[in-house]
Chain A
Amino acid sequence: GENVEQHPSTLSVQEGDSAVIKCTYSDSASNYFPWYKQELGKRPQLIIDIRSNVGEKKDQRIAVTLNKTAKHFSLHITETQPEDSAVYFCAASNKLTGGGNKLTFGTGTQLKVEL
């Protein structure tokens, strides 16, 4: 099955700096890569996703890049703000195998944005 590794496990940045979280996946057939944000005590919520036919996607201060050859993808947050402090999860799935939306998650990155 798919295996997703995520680094770092914790990340501390100063407000206004950029943050980068990296993930690698093992199944070359994976074709969908979402990122979820989970604030303390809350449910995970989708913040951005990318499909395997796209190399980069941006949404305001967040962007995701995908390198299919190396099987890794990254989340970039620019101009970080205190409200960006949360746990971020990457995930991967193959949407063509008939298994629906069966996501395999990374182990999460605790991002802390310090004033």
Chain B
Amino acid sequence: NAGVTQTPKFQVLKTGQSMTLQCAQDMNHEYMSWYRQDPGMGLRLIHYSVGAGITDQGEVPNGYNVSRSTTEDFPLRLLSAAPSQTSVYFCASSRFTGELFFGEGSRLTVL
């Protein structure tokens, strides 16, 4: 199993550009989520999904969209990038009540 795979690992955007961070898992996990990690602020939940076709907002959802058309994939879309979205993004998945497995992270810089 590859586990949780995120792409790209690094990305530089200009303010106003849009992009999609890809996340895929091959463990047949029901639950998937996106976190952002900023220095001194821990991991903050952006969006999450409890199954295909079901998504909901986390703590910091503004400026981000998600969709869950399949069990395996959970892309995160930045609609109009802002410097405040410079961060490291982690995708994670789990069984409904099990250990949360993280991807390797995607480092995004918005100029």
**Contact between B33 and A101, CB atoms less than 8 A apart:** yes
A49 to B98, CA, bound (A): 10
Cβ contacts under 8 Å, A101 to chain B? 31, 33, 94-98, 100
A99-B100 in contact (CB<8A): no
Asked whether, in the complex, the Cβ of A107 is within 8 Å of the Cβ of B31, the reply is no
Residue on A with the closest CB to B104?
A43
A33 at the interface (CB under 8 A from B): no
Judge whether A105 is part of the interface by a CB distance below 8 angstroms. Answer: yes
A85 CB → nearest B CB, Å: 18
Tally of A interface residues using CB under 8 Å: 25
**B interface residues, tally (CB under 8 Å):** 28
- Give per-residue flags for B3-43: 1 if the beta carbon is below 8 A from chain A beta carbons, else 0: 00000000000000000000000000011010100001111
Would you call B102 and A44 a contact (CB within 8 A)? Answer: yes
The answer on a CB contact under 8 Å between B33 and A102 is yes
B45 neighbours in A (Cβ, 8 Å): 102-104
- Chain A residues in the interface with B (C-beta under 8 A): 1, 6, 9, 32, 34, 42-46, 49, 89, 91, 95, 98-108
- For the complex with contacts A46-B99, A100-B49, A101-B95, 9 further pairs of A-B residues with Cβ separation under 8 Å are A43-B103, A44-B43, A49-B99, A89-B42, A101-B96, A104-B45, A105-B44, A107-B42, A108-B42
